[in-house]
Amino acid sequence: MLVHEVTTYDGYPSYHKMFEEAGVADAIAGLGRDFRRIPDGLLEISLPNPTKHEVAQLLRRFARAGVNLPIVYPYVSGDEGYQLEVVKAVASVAALVAK
């Protein structure tokens, strides 16, 4: 799923530029059809179950690369109450990024 998502987004010029600025465009281009090994650089921008601190660090990295409107897209399963809590937690990261 990760490979499909990033290769699809990489096809859009604005996202490709973001991936270049974040230093992962070459890793995405090298994915080809072999999905058995995801490059470390790509895993660093696609964190599974990150803490608020990890999300804030990632957003700061994108900001340093010139990305001023990143998309934070959590994949969340569970009941609606849990999903809402995750969305609230992601939204609260903005305060951490400003620090």
Q: Looking at the predicted structure, is the pLDDT value of residue 59 above 70?
A: yes
Q: Looking at the predicted structure, is the pLDDT value of residue 99 above 70?
A: no
Please enumerate, as own/partner, the contacts of 32-36 that have beta carbons within 8 Å and a separation of 24 or more: 35/3
User: What is the pLDDT averaged over residues 53-63?
Assistant: 84
**34 and 53 housed in the same domain:** no
What is the C-alpha to C-alpha distance for residues 65 and 81, in angstroms, rounded to an integer?
A: 35
**29 and 72 housed in the same domain:** no
Contact 6, 29 (CB under 8 A): no
4 lies in which domain range?
1-46
Highest mean pLDDT among 25-29, 31-35, 36-40: 25-29
The closest alpha carbon to 72, from 47, 38, 43, 41, belongs to 47
Q: Is the pTM of this model over 0.85?
A: no
In degrees, rounded to 5, the angle at the alpha carbon of residue 21 between the alpha carbons of residues 16 and 22 is 95
**37 and 67 housed in the same domain:** no
User: What is the pLDDT averaged over residues 43-62?
Assistant: 82
Q: How confident is the model at residue 5 (pLDDT cuts 50, 70, 90)?
A: confident
